[in-house]
Structure 1
C-alpha cells in the first residue's frame, strides 16, 4: 500500500499521476520517471488495456454530452487535426 498510480488521456495529451504519502514521494517519482523514460509494453498488458479502452468507448456512446462536444469540435476545428 501507500500510494495510487493512474493515468488519463485527452485528444492532446496523456497524464500519468501518483498520489502518495510524503514518505513515498521518492519512490513515486522514480516510478513516473521509469514510465516516461523506460516504458515496457508486455503483450498481455496491452491486451488488457485494449479491453478497457473498448469498454470506455461503449460508455462514451451512452454519453450524449460527450458526443455533442466532439461534434462541436469537429465544426470549430474543421480542417485541423483537433477536429479528428
Structure 2
C-alpha cells in the first residue's frame, strides 16, 4: 500500500525525535557548591579572638604575622592559631 507524503513525513519526524532522545546523554545535575568563606583582616580576626579562638588578641595577631598572613578565613585562622599556641616556647 503506497504511503502519502504526509504519512512518510510524520514517520520521518517521529524517527528523528526518537533518535535524538537516544543519542543524548543523561544530564547530570551539578552538585551544589558550598558558599566560599569570607576572608578577614588580622585586625578583624583579632577583635573576635576571645569569642572565636578562646585566646588573647595578641596571640591571634602573632600567629597570623608569623604565618605571613594578611587576610584569612576563620577556619584557616583557627588552624594557624592552634598550631601557634601548641608551639614549644624556647
> How would you bin the TM-score normalised by the shorter chain?
under 0.3
Which structure has the greater CA radius of gyration?
2
**TM-score (norm. length: structure 2):** 0.19
> Larger % of strand: which?
1
**TM-score (norm. length: structure 1):** 0.20
Report which structure shows greater RCO (CA 8 Å, sep ≥6).
2
